[in-house]
Structure 1
Amino acid sequence: MDPANLRDLGGIDVPGGTVRTGVALRSDDLSSMSPAFAEKLLGQGLRSVIDLRSYAEVSQTGRGPLSALDLTYHHVPLLDTAASPAHLARRFGPMTPEQVGVLPSVPAPNPLPSSRTVKPSRSATSATSR
């Protein structure tokens, strides 16, 4: 099974240029992908995963088949609770379809450590996820 909403961010304009194709992918929950699809991504050059899900979301579904692969994994939750539509509406206010994907800035997390698996403490990330 392919992950939901997996897409290449290549071609997106950013300050100073454009994101190169094949450099950054984004997806929904990666835990639902098949082991074969995970191996395919690894074969295509996947080396790092930055997981923005909340602690609750990660504890419910885990990391899936990617956890068995030689990848750098960073858990950097943007929200301290699972992101229901109601929660997002309270946090960011009402949004038109054109505004979806252009959310207000959130504080940057601490720099990512270079360890293979990152498990930040709840207290360290709760301040950055507000």
Structure 2
Amino acid sequence: MTTRYSKEHEWVRLDGDTATIGITPFAAEQLGDVVFVELPEKGKTIAKGDEVAVVESVKAASEVYAPVSGEVTDANAALEDAPQTVNEAPEGDGWFFRVKLSDKSELDGLMDEAAYKAFCEEL
């Protein structure tokens, strides 16, 4: 599975036509200790760039934007009871939601891992 990254620090991992989405370790580190996560409802149709979820830390609240368009097929309910998972495993068990893609070509506009690392080094 290939992972792609947005400039808003979300990651997208594709499995068939379903994308799992979360925030990057860089974003989790910037936020600090995550204390609350608000996730999208299953069945919600989202468009690339939409505010889809909210993550709150001891420092700040931040929106999570949709890096791709589609229909939300799953949300990581485990984060409601254990939001710290976002800090512990941002690209693993700390995923936010899954989307059935409506336009796979949107992935072409996202960065691969090397490009994302270079992008973060410039920040």
TM-score (norm 2): 0.24
Q: As a proportion of its length, which structure holds more helix?
A: 1
Larger Rg: 1
Compare relative contact order (CA 8 Å, sep 6+) and give the higher one, 1 or 2: 2
